[in-house]
Copies of this chain bind each other. A is one copy, B any other.
Amino acid sequence: MPPSHPHVAVVGSGTAAGDLYEQAREVGRLVAERGGIVVCGGLGGVMEAAARGATEAGGTAIGILPDEDRGRANAYLSFSVATGTGQARNLAVVCSGDVVVAVGGEYGTLSEMGLALKVGRPVVSLGSWDLGEHVAVAPSPEEAVGAAFGLLGV
């Protein structure tokens, strides 16, 4: 039975502007419109944009922060947790998703894609790292979210 409220981890760089920011925001919006919950790393850039898109659409966005407190949480999160474990919070982000959508992204995103695959989460890439057949590649936010929900059977 597929989850009734799929958790979609949206990962990507902490700095994003222009098209990349808008793409992540669109991903968040589409996840929320389909009844999903956005999980992200809680900071800026792609994380903020995905949370923003989800909550602007009336959905829920949860941020999982690397810090010992919730002070750096972006302004668009419904809820945030603080792990206190630095980059090990990347593991928590992907473990908390039923599927992972990588939007653009730098080295931290790469680590999240690797961790996701290691713990058995399917990964969709929207302009992110090219990891061959291990990752589903989507050319647009619509197709990325479609692929993510499709991978979950919902």
Q: A residues touching B (Cβ–Cβ < 8 Å)? A: 7, 37, 39, 60, 62, 64, 67-70, 79-88, 90-92, 95-96, 106-115, 117-119, 129, 131, 134
Contact = CB atoms under 8 A, between A and B. Distances in A.
B112 A96 contact: no
A82 B96 contact: yes
Given A39-B81, A70-B7, A118 B111 contact: yes
B87 A86 contact: no
For this chain, the copies found in one complex come to 4
A92 to B, nearest CB: 4
Contacts of A113: 110, 114
Nearest to A105: B114
